[in-house]
Amino acid sequence: MAELPHAWLLRLLKVPPPPQLPSGDEGRVFRSAPGYQRYQLLIWGLRQLGVAAGLVAGALFIEMFIFRVNYPLADEIAWAIEGLAWAGFLVQLPIGFLVRRLDYAFRWYILSDRSLRVREGLVSLQEKTMTFANVQQVSLQQNPLQRLFGISDVKVETAGGGGSGGGKGSDGATREHMHEAYFRGVSNASEIRDAILARVRLHRDTGLGEPQAPEPVEPGRTSAAALEAARELLTEMRALRQALPPRQGQK
């Protein structure tokens, strides 16, 4: 990957270097498709338009109704608050745009021989590792807007994967449950799903071997331990029968 011109910001945020496959593993390290970056920027842009529309509505409200408020300096205070809101909005625009660009550039996915690994986020870094032996379900998710950009999400669940997500990521997406991992915004979702399922089957089949039949027992050959256990069980049953009250009709 070419060196980014924002190295000072990466050092400030202490962003770790790109991940590497363990020595000897036959896997792959990859990122989301380019369409995912456009998808994320479109969602971010729509949110900014919504905020700007709210600020314009606030200015119109001040222009039309603030004169009715019988309070000294009400007009000046209202416009000062509106001005501060616009200033904050304009300041966060380039920062938000830069964060989303870098969030895409430093979103990594790894499929190794034994596990999958997902690293995402920039301001709030999140990294998950799941072994294939624990994977329970792999599914594909795609909304209409993702379909327009030719991308999908691959959802991986392990045992105990119920529950709700927790918090928000730097891209505004809801953080998933600890037993869930997402390969977000990939263009080859079916290929990734099939690769994960193949590794899951391989790990579940490894070392199982063929079922073995029980060893035959020669007639008349019984272990002393089994005979002793049978005698103890018989003694306990007799003691239990004596302890129970007699049924009606019995003396």
Q: Tell me which of 113-117, 167-171, 178-182, 199-203 is least confident.
A: 167-171
Q: What is the tens place of the pLDDT at every residue in 129-177?
A: 898 888 999 999 999 999 999 999 999 998 765 544 454 544 445 555 7
How far is it, in rounded angstroms, from Cα 109 to Cα 28? 8
Q: What is the pLDDT of residue 51?
A: 95
Mean pLDDT of the chain: 77
Strand order in the sheet with 180-186: 135-141, 152-158, 180-186
Q: How many domains does the chain have?
A: 1
Q: What is the tens place of the pLDDT at every residue in 78-107?
A: 889 999 999 999 999 998 998 888 888 888
Q: What is the pLDDT of residue 159?
A: 78
Asked whether residue 243 is assigned to any structural domain, the reply reads no
Q: Decide if pLDDT at 38 tops 90.
A: yes
Q: Decide if pLDDT at 36 tops 70.
A: yes
Question: Residue 2 — pLDDT band, cuts 50, 70, 90?
Answer: very low
Quick one: average pLDDT of 30-35? 90
Asked whether residue 128 is assigned to any structural domain, the reply reads yes
Quick one: average pLDDT of 31-40? 93
User: Could you give the percent of the chain with pLDDT greater than 70?
Assistant: 62
Bridge partners (DSSP) listed for residue 116: 111, 130
Are 184 and 153 contacting, i.e. CB atoms less than 8 angstroms apart? yes
User: Which tokens is 61 given?
Assistant: 């409200």
Asked whether residue 71 is assigned to any structural domain, the reply reads yes
Q: What is the tens place of the pLDDT at every residue in 53-85?
A: 999 998 888 878 766 666 666 778 888 999 999
Residue 168 DSSP label = B
126-134: list long-range contacts, CB under 8 Å, 24+ apart. 126/169, 126/175, 128/178, 128/181, 130/156, 130/158, 130/181, 131/203, 132/196, 132/199, 132/200, 132/202, 132/203, 133/200, 133/203, 133/204, 134/158, 134/159
Asked whether residue 133 is assigned to any structural domain, the reply reads yes
How far is it, in rounded angstroms, from Cα 145 to Cα 130? 29
Asked whether residue 226 is assigned to any structural domain, the reply reads no
How far is it, in rounded angstroms, from Cα 218 to Cα 239? 33
CB atoms within 10 A of CB 176: 23
Q: What string of DSSP letters covers 87-143?
A: HHHHHHHHHHHHHHHHHHHT-EEEE-SSEEEEEE-SSS-EEEEEEGGGEEEEEEE--
Q: What residues make up the domain containing 184?
A: 9-16+29-203
Asked whether residue 230 is assigned to any structural domain, the reply reads no
Half-sphere exposure of 86 (CA within 13 A, CB side): 12
What sign does the CA torsion over 95, 96, 97, 99 have? positive
Asked whether residue 232 is assigned to any structural domain, the reply reads no
The three-state secondary structure class of 167 is: coil
Q: Locate all alpha helices (DSSP H) within the chain, ordered by sequence.
A: 7-13, 34-65, 74-105, 144-149, 189-205, 224-243
Asked whether residue 85 is assigned to any structural domain, the reply reads yes
How far is it, in rounded angstroms, from Cα 182 to Cα 120? 10
